[in-house]
């Protein structure tokens, strides 16, 4: 398997969740009520799976190794765009959480911000995924030897193996503070 295989497999799961989020957003917009439990679950998915697990492998392994290569100007530009998009998704997710908290605190108008941030994320992810899948992943494989690709794939698996431990270590540390 190529190292882009697990990343593209993760994209399919992210796409499924984005569809679920879009449906739930429509219900919240119609009812004019924030489903705080669902928002918590969606944010946990985005932060843990899409960002820490998926984007983590991209940024901490794939992009790290690519940055050592002499890439074309186009590939370097796309990689920077992808990094910028990861930052944008994190910002929108944080703003979604803040809007949900504002709703909980009694600000009924924060429903509009919740809907807007969800809409932004739902519209963002398909294009971001398409860019990675169609414009970036396959061409950049040519920078790596088979051995380098195999090593990267092994590092991806090790990264995934540690994720659950890292997540809950951070939860405990937050409570200990």
Q: Cα–Cα distance between 121 and 116 in angstroms, integer? A: 9
Residue 156: predicted pLDDT: 95
**Residue 76: DSSP 8-state:** H
Is residue 11 within 8 A of residue 132, CB to CB? The reply is: yes
Q: Cα–Cα distance between 79 and 84 in angstroms, integer? A: 9
How confident is the prediction along the chain (177 residues), in pLDDT tens digits per residue?
899 999 999 999 999 999 999 999 999 999 999 999 999 999 999 999 999 999 999 999 999 999 999 999 999 999 999 999 999 999 999 999 999 999 999 999 999 999 999 999 999 999 999 999 999 999 999 999 999 999 999 999 999 988 888 888 888 998 898
* H/E segment holding residue 72: none
Q: Which domains does the chain have, with CATH numbers?
A: 4-176 (1.20.120.520)
Residue 163: predicted pLDDT: 84
Expressed in angstroms, the distance from the first to the final Cα of the chain is: 42
**Residue 48: DSSP 8-state:** I
Report CA 141 to chain centroid distance, whole Å.
21
Residue 170: predicted pLDDT: 84
CA triplet 100, 58, 136: central angle to 5 degrees?
Answer: 110
Q: Cα–Cα distance between 67 and 88 in angstroms, integer? A: 21
């Amino acid at each position: 398997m190529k190292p882009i295989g697990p990343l593209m497999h993760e994209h399919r799961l992210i796409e499924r969740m984005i569809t679920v989020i879009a449906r739930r957003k429509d219900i919240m917009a119609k009812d004019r009520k924030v489903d705080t439990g669902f928002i918590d679950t969606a944010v946990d998915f985005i932060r843990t799976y899409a960002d820490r697990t998926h984007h983590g492998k991209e940024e901490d392994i794939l992009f790290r190794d690519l940055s050592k290569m002499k890439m074309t100007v186009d590939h370097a530009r796309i990689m920077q765009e992808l990094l910028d998009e990861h930052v944008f998704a994190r910002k929108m997710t944080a703003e979604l959480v803040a809007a949900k908290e504002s709703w909980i605190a009694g600000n009924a108008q924060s429903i509009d911000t919740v809907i807007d941030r969800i809409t932004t994320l739902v519209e963002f992810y398909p294009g971001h995924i398409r860019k990675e899948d169609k414009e970036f992943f396959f061409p950049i494989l040519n920078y790596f030897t088979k051995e380098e690709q195999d090593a990267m794939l092994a590092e991806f698996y090790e990264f995934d193996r540690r994720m659950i431990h890292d997540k809950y270590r951070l939860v405990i540390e937050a409570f200990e503070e």
